[in-house]
Structure 1
């Protein structure tokens, strides 16, 4: 059984949009993740935005696939747990990944 996925969207002091995800991202909720990414991108209005995955315990290929359409505007914040998965998927070649 997967851990429920929740999202919060906020702005940093510099007005950067941050979408924070908590839980597990898999094929059962990848569509909701994709919708949240699209909403954050729209809110960022062409500026870079951050997806905070530091509270995500698992991401599968469906969740990774949701990230790819946004690589031109997206930065990821993650932990050592997910960093290798993001690297294997090739995301480290396409966008900035900050490891906490």
Structure 2
């Protein structure tokens, strides 16, 4: 059984728009993610928290690629290989969730 997609927009302590995403992102709901990112990115860069995402397919990746220049991603270890192999980690900032710590920026180079 799939986990429904939940999107929650808020503002971080520094005023940055935050979009917390929970559940599974697939072709049946990627349009909702697209709409939320379009609304959120009108104000500038947005932090997309994918730490509670259990599944991400190519439709979800396409949405994230579309907004790559304006998003910063927080990803759990399950998604890290998908973001790396797809090339998204090369064009968007990806922060990794580590136990007992805040997300750490991962920038190669």
Decide: shared fold, TM above 0.5.
yes
Report the alpha carbon displacement of residue 71 of structure 1 after superposing the two structures with TM. 1.0
Unaligned runs of 5+ in 1: none
Q: CA RMSD of the aligned region, Å?
A: 0.8
Question: Normalising by structure 2, what TM-score?
Answer: 0.85
What are the superposed Cα offsets for residues 43-97 of structure 1, whole Å, 9 maximum, x if unpaired?
Answer: xx23x21100000000000000001111111100011010100111101110110
Residue from 76, 81, 88 that aligns with 1:84: 81
Report the alpha carbon displacement of residue 27 of structure 1 after superposing the two structures with TM. 0.6
Question: Normalising by structure 1, what TM-score?
Answer: 0.93
- Tell me how far apart the structure 2 counterparts of residues 94 and 65 of structure 1 sit (CA, whole Å): 13
Q: Aligned residues, how many?
A: 97
Q: Could you say which structure has the larger radius of gyration?
A: 2
